Chain A
């Protein structure tokens, strides 16, 4: 099984901050990495696919990068609606998700 880890597990940030979340796979997964945003009581929402592809309708302040085992989700300027939990997910093997990173208000 491919294990996914994320860091940090939580972070506090202010509106306008640049935020970076890291995801690491236990083995190389090429670019088979997706990012999701989840708000309380709602299903996750796909943000980034294929490590760096921006899903239709997602604001351009979200970006993804990386390949192999190390990946990054960046929010260039945090907005009030971005406070949420973020999950990475690999689709190279049996699909699996990272444990999540909660972004809350400083």
Chain B
């Protein structure tokens, strides 16, 4: 059973960089899914896809955050990561790592981590 676990700081100061890592267990990142991704959910609000990456390293970004976000993959560690620059309070959210298992990088999110709350505050 493939499992995803997010890790990273729960509190980030405004204007700084948010960095999260997703560790994959129960399978390897290079054989369990072609794509891996991040989705976030502000408290009490809806879901927003942020980015996805293929296990070969091809990234796909939401235009709403494209200028501030970087996604990367480390197959040797079975991890993929998200970096979001110049954060503001609007970036406060629960961040989920996910596996897109459908037709493309944004389709059929059938496996989710438990999520990690990141608060942007001084």
Interfacial residues, chain A to chain B (CB-CB below 8 A): 1, 32, 34, 36, 42-46, 49-50, 55, 87, 89, 91, 94-100
- Which among B46, B103, B112 has the highest number of chain A CB atoms within 10 Å? B46
* Complex Cα–Cα for A87 and B103 (A): 19
Q: Evaluate whether A94 and B108 lie within 8 angstroms (CB atoms) in the complex, with A43-B113, A87-B47 already known.
A: no
Residue in A45, A46, A99, A100 whose CB lies within 8 Å of B108: A46
A contact patch SS: loop
Q: State which residues 53-89 of B face A: CB under 8 Å.
A: 62-63
> Residues of B contacting A46 with CB < 8 Å?
108-110
> Residues of A contacting B63 with CB < 8 Å?
1, 94
> Residues of B contacting A98 with CB < 8 Å?
46
Q: Evaluate whether A44 and B47 lie within 8 angstroms (CB atoms) in the complex, with A49-B102, A91-B102, A91-B103 already known.
A: yes
> Residues of A contacting B104 with CB < 8 Å?
91
